[in-house]
Structure 1
Amino acid sequence: MELEIKALNNKYAQKSPEEFLGEIVERVGTAKIALASSLSIEDQVLTAMLLKTEPKARIFFIDTGRHFQKTYDLMEETMHRYHFHYEVYAPESKDLEEMVAGHGPNLFYESIELRKKCCELRKVKPLQRVLSTVDAWICGLRREQSPTREEVNLLEWDGNQAIYKVNPLAFWSEEKIWDYIRKENVPYSSLYDKGFRSIGCRPCTRAVKPGEDVRGGRWWWESPDKKECGLHIAQP
């Protein structure tokens, strides 16, 4: 299976995410493509779109063990709403035991290196397990989210995982995301109503101030051009 990245990006640049998703799922096959959901507004929109296209679609959640309770509540609400079950992937217990014993439970505040170590064990390694079972993964990345995502395209080659990365909402604004949520009555986290605009693990996420960028509340103690957990850092 080989996708022509440039041709597909050109073909769907002015079309809807649903049309793009439909073609990609048909080409790759339901068993070999999966949506990575963190229960963000983007991922909730993609969940609604994808399940319309393919009711048996694979959607997975990485349970780091440090999420907000509201994230777990939304997860359950979403399963009931759309009549499906997430695939759930978690860190290896031995990895967590050694990391917390050696560095403490709040190591991510001490240095960027330790924060990345925490992300590596809690998120990246579980991600690698699920992505080893697919030829493409679907993400909720958007260009306007942060400086690290300004070049995101609809379809990319993920050099980290050696599979395709599908970003149907790459060109959508936050306003368009909310318009879709309201129109389709898509469930979303109530944390967004309290000033949160990007939600990850509880210790590393806070509400943002007016005028602050979308991901300003994630790892707020770090430089904006470095704020990725390792899931979406492209290889040169």
Structure 2
Amino acid sequence: MGHTAARLTTNDPPAAEEILRQGIAQAGGPVALACSFSVEDVAVIDLATRAGLPLGVFAIDTGRLPEETYIVAETVSQRYGLSIEWYFPQAEAVQQLERQKGLFSFRESLENRHQCCAVRKVEPLRRALSGLSGWVTGMRRAQSVTRNDILPIEVDRAHDGLLKINPLCDWSERQLWDYAREQRIPIHKLHRQGYPSIGCAPCTRAVKEGEDVRAGRWWWENPEHKECGLHR
């Protein structure tokens, strides 16, 4: 699509709202948030709503989400008057994977885990991004070693050069939760139970004191491997 990364017009870290505004303007077409209903993603929805920015919202139902994710999704939809566009993995691909490798193959090897994520997340994401000019994430650099070099606005070469907008990239954990409390945004129940990062139920656990925020995701793997393929 020929996008080039935006040059934000400030020497200081730009405000999240300004990143969103400039990213949407540069995309020049429809832009949507990939929403997992984490506190980060709901904060982005709240920011966009308050600023009156045109931002769609889509979510991927992997078939293994915790019940609490569906509960907060309904709350978010009602609070902000959103029509959330849900995407699902191809049924035949899921059936083939489970028949060939069982229900928990993702814990046997990194290759198997990547295959499961490819079926349940990556392929539905490609369909969700079709027709968009840009997409928005709630990623923050402070989350993990795999995210410490993300930019506010970047070109996503893995997804046909779409513009990728990361408005919260500079936010600390404290900034995030200060915003959540000040604006009283809906909070995923598992966040209150020690889950700072939430994905599929079998692949997510609460973190222990002193662990980083993504330690509970695929906890049997090394930190540098803890991405599912949505963000490369």
Same fold (TM over 0.5): yes
CA contact 1:43–1:139 (8 Å) conserved in 2: yes
Equivalent residue of 1:100, what SS? Answer: helix
Q: How does 1:10-49 map to 2 (within 5 A)?
A: 11=10, 13-29=12-28, 32-49=30-47
The aligned residue for residue 7 of structure 1 is 7
CA contact 1:12–1:20 (8 Å) conserved in 2: no
Q: Distance in 2 between matches of 1:82 and 1:199?
A: 22
Residue identity matched to 2:126: Q
CA contact 1:32–1:134 (8 Å) conserved in 2: yes
1:149 to 132, 147, 150: 147
Q: Distance in 2 between matches of 1:54 and 1:117?
A: 39
The aligned residue for residue 50 of structure 2 is 52
Compared CA separation, residues 12 and 51, structure 1 to 2 (3 A):
farther
CA contact 1:204–1:219 (8 Å) conserved in 2: yes
Which has the higher relative contact order, 1 or 2, with Cα contacts under 8 A spaced 6 or more apart? 2
Q: Distance in 2 between matches of 1:94 and 1:172?
A: 40
- In the alignment, structure 1 segments of 5+ residues that lack a partner are none
Cα root mean square deviation, aligned: 1.6
The aligned residue for residue 211 of structure 2 is 212
Equivalent residue of 1:60, what SS? Answer: strand
TM-score by length of 1: 0.93
The aligned residue for residue 175 of structure 1 is 174
TM-score by length of 2: 0.94
Tell me if 1:105 matches 2:114. Answer: no
Q: Distance in 2 between matches of 1:3 and 1:109?
A: 38
Compared CA separation, residues 90 and 98, structure 1 to 2 (3 A):
same
Compared CA separation, residues 179 and 126, structure 1 to 2 (3 A):
same
Q: Kindly provide the CA deviation profile for residues 1-32 of structure 1, in whole angstroms up to 9, marking residues without a partner as x.
A: 76552523x63752311122122223334x52
CA contact 1:146–1:214 (8 Å) conserved in 2: yes
Q: Distance in 2 between matches of 1:28 and 1:164?
A: 6
CA contact 1:44–1:187 (8 Å) conserved in 2: yes
Q: Kindly provide the CA deviation profile for residues 178-203 of structure 1, in whole angstroms up to 9, marking residues without a partner as x.
A: 00000000001111111111000000
Q: Distance in 2 between matches of 1:41 and 1:12?
A: 28
Structure 1 vs Structure 2: percent identity of aligned residues? 42
2:138 to 137, 140, 156: 140
Residue identity matched to 1:116: H
Q: Distance in 2 between matches of 1:211 and 1:42?
A: 20
CA contact 2:24–2:134 (8 Å) conserved in 1: no
Q: Distance in 1 between matches of 2:149 and 2:55?
A: 27
